[in-house]
Structures are given as structure tokens and as C-alpha cells.
Amino acid sequence: MYHRVAAPDRDPYGLAVHPDRFAQHVEQLLAMDCTMPLEDLVDRPRSGQVAITFDDGYEDNATVAAPLLSGAGIPATWFITAGRLGERRFWWDRLADGLLGPHLRPDALDVSVAGRQVWLDLRTPAARTTALRFLHRRLRPLPPEALEAAVDDVTGRLGMTEETSDGLTMTIEQLRGLAALPLQEVGAHTRSHLQLRGQREELQREEIFGSVADLTGVLNHPVRAFAYPFGSESAVGALAPRLAAEAGCTLACSTAPGPVRPRGNRYLLPRLNVEDWDGREFRARLDAALADR
């Protein structure tokens, strides 16, 4: 499981793999000859095989990662947040810029989060990082409109006046170009990157069914794979896997670690989260994960 192939100024969530290191990952995958399409891996699990996935739909997926993978003959599945397409930025990146960016900001901030007033110390880099983690955890369960409004309020009060061009989502045309590359499959990742557990059923249905329908319309072919945003067990819940199946998806990925096993739940597939490792560490991590298979 990857998210970005980029070298951002800051990466507080650990989502980015540097392009040079990603190229080393590709070299290792080619040397191991171990990749196969995600659906094939689920239908016919084979020892020593892996499937490559990317979550969210950042622009660098289309401009950097997908061409490199396709050119190397490596299949991959790209889980796209359908409602964020079009050079937009995710709320967590906006929040990180507001708290950690180089602009002037107050020494403290009183904010209302889910009806609770909270005082945030912003005087030091460590305090701002703690504030970011706190806000991310508290904001994540909110429904989309409330979440975006809260982030708008916080970032505005932090003095953010300019938006950076880093961390943009891909455009619809970039998505179509990615989907046209050999061996590349597009899956759905909700419309707004909603944490599904705890939301009312209508909203979960709208986010899951809507994202599948939106992407099917954009690409003019069925979308059969799904990945849950913030996909730990505590963020997925019991309803979302059933809705993913009802939406026509044949599989769905979580973020829980572990190998794909025969007769495992194809709507709660585990994945290995890949970090900004050099080629040697990537190979060692992959070997350890495959040994657990």
C-alpha cells in the first residue's frame, strides 16, 4: 500500500516515498518477479506474490508512479477518491500546512471540535505536531461538510493565506490517462475520503455507491475494487464491506497488516504499508512479509 511518490517539504503522516527510492522498489520487484494483479492474487493466492496498490489519487500517482510501474510491466490498482478529482487538496494536508508551514501563526488557538472547546499550544514545533495529531484524530470521524468547515475555520485562524501546489489530486484527464496504461486498474475510495464507521447508513451508501458510479462514468468501464479510507478495523465497521459488495465490487482492501490468505475475507483484505525505505530495506520488509504468508 502506497499513497504518494514525491518529495514534499513536510510529510507528517508518512505518506510519501521519494521518487528515487520508489525507483529502487521497482527494481527490487522486477528482480523478485513477484507481482500480479490484485484480483488475481485474491482469486488465486500464490506463495511469494504481491499486488501493488495506491490510495487517495494524488497527482504524482498519475505523473510519476503509474508511468514507471506500467513501463516496468508491473500491474497496480489505484484507489481514487472520486469527489476530490481535479487538482484539489485533501483536508489533512491543508491542516498540516496550517500548523507546520512557515507562515506566522498565533502562539495558541481555541478551537471547537465536535462541540468541544479545546485549547491548543502552538509555541514550539513539537507542540504544533502534537496539535496536528490531536486535530487529525478528532476531526476524522466527522461527516464531510462538518469536517471541511472545521478545517477551513482552523486554517483561516492560523493565518494561511496561500495554498501550495504540493499534494494536489489528479485531474479527470490524468486519471483517464493512468487507466489507459497497460496493467493499471482503477478502484474506488469513496467520494470524500470519509471514515465510514459511525456514519449513518445513507451517507455510507452514498459515498461507496457514488464513488463506484462516478468512476465508472469517468472511465466508461466497470469499477470492481474498493479500498476503505483510514481502513483499520476501528474505521471500517460492519456495514461498509456489505455495501462494497452491493455496489458491485468483487474485493475491498483494509489497511490492516498481514498477508492475503486462501479463503480469507475478500472484503477486508490486509496490506503492507510501504514507507520511505531504500531498496535494501524495502526488500527486507517484503521478504519478511512473504515469509509470514
* pLDDT tens figures, 102-130: 888 899 999 888 778 889 999 999 999 99
DSSP H helix total and E strand total for the chain: 12, 9
Q: What does the block give as the cell for 274?
A: 510501504
Same domain, 225 and 191: yes
pLDDT of residue 293: 65
Mean of all residue pLDDT scores within the chain: 94
Residue 62 DSSP class: I
Mean pLDDT along residues 237-244: 97
Same domain, 123 and 135: yes
| Host domain of residue 124 | 91-157
Q: How many structural domains comprise the chain?
A: 2
| Residues 6+ positions from 162 with CB-CB distance below 8 Å | none
Assess contact for 61 and 90: CB atoms under 8 A.
Answer: no
Q: Does residue 239 belong to any structural domain of this protein?
A: yes
Same domain, 182 and 67: yes
Same domain, 185 and 287: yes
pLDDT of 174-222, one tens digit each? Answer: 999 999 999 999 999 999 999 999 999 999 999 999 999 999 999 999 9
Model confidence at 1: pLDDT above 90: yes
More confident position, 237 or 114: 237
